C-alpha cells in the first residue's frame, strides 16, 4: 500500500508565516509602540539604544541603556511636526541682512573719522634740554 504522505513537505501556513517574518524584518529599524509607556518599559540591552515610533501619536522615542546596572536609562521624546509648503518657501528665501544698522551709524562714523583727522593734525611736542 503506497502512502502519499511526505513528512518533508512544508506546511503552507508555516511557509506563509516565514515569508511574513522575512518581510517584516527588512524595515527601517524603528520599533512600533502603541504609547509612551510601552516604549519606556521596552527591554533594552546594556550599551544599546532603541528607537520607537508611536503608532497613535506623532512622536518618536529613544531609549538608551548605559553600560552599568547603576546607570538609569536615558529616555528622549521627539515630536514630529509636519512641514507645510509655507515652511518650505520660508526656508528657501535668502536670509535678510540688517542693512539699517550701517545707515543709522553713518553719522557717528563720520564724526569719529573727523576726530581722527583732527588728531593727526595736532602739533606734537618734543622734549628739549634747558640749559642752566
Give the one residue of 1, 9, 13, 70 binding other proteins; rule: CB under 8 A: 13
Report the C-alpha gap between 49 and 27 in whole angstroms: 17
Residue 44 binds other proteins, judged by CB under 8 A: yes
Q: Dihedral of CA 94/98/102/104: which sign?
A: positive
Q: Which is nearer to other proteins, 47 or 114 (CB)?
A: 47
Stretch that binds other proteins, among 44-52, 78-86, 89-97, 124-132 (CB under 8 A): 44-52
| Contact present, 5 and 24 (Cβ < 8 Å) | no
Backbone dihedral angles phi then psi of residue 102, each to the nearest 5 degrees? -65, -40
Which are the contacts of 129, defined by CB distance < 8 A and separation ≥ 6? none
Q: Quick count: other Cβ atoms within 10 Å of Cβ 61?
A: 22
Give the one residue of 4, 6, 11, 24 binding other proteins; rule: CB under 8 A: 24
Instruction: State in angstroms the smallest separation of the CB of 10 from other proteins.
Output: 15
Residue 39 binds other proteins, judged by CB under 8 A: no
Q: Which of residues 62-81 bind other proteins (CB under 8 A)?
A: 69
Which are the contacts of 84, defined by CB distance < 8 A and separation ≥ 6? none
Give the one residue of 11, 25, 56, 124 binding other proteins; rule: CB under 8 A: 25
Stretch that binds other proteins, among 25-33, 98-106, 107-115, 118-126 (CB under 8 A): 25-33
Helix (H) or strand (E) holding 72: none
**Sites of contact with other proteins (CB under 8 A):** 13, 17, 20-21, 24-25, 31-32, 41-46, 48, 50, 69
Amino acid at each position: 500500500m503506497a502512502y502519499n504522505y511526505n513528512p518533508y513537505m512544508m506546511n503552507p501556513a508555516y511557509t506563509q508565516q516565514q515569508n511574513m517574518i522575512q518581510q517584516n524584518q527588512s524595515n527601517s529599524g524603528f520599533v512600533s509602540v502603541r504609547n509612551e509607556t510601552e516604549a519606556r518599559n521596552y527591554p533594552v540591552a546594556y550599551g544599546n539604544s532603541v528607537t520607537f515610533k508611536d503608532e497613535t501619536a506623532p512622536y518618536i522615542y529613544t531609549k538608551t541603556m548605559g553600560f552599568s546596572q547603576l546607570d538609569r536609562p536615558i529616555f528622549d521624546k521627539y515630536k514630529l511636526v509636519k512641514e507645510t509648503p509655507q515652511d518650505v518657501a520660508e526656508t528657501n528665501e535668502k536670509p535678510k541682512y540688517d542693512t539699517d544698522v550701517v545707515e543709522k551709524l553713518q553719522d557717528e562714523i563720520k564724526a569719529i573719522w573727523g576726530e581722527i583727522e583732527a588728531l593727526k593734525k595736532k602739533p606734537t611736542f618734543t622734549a628739549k634740554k634747558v640749559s642752566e
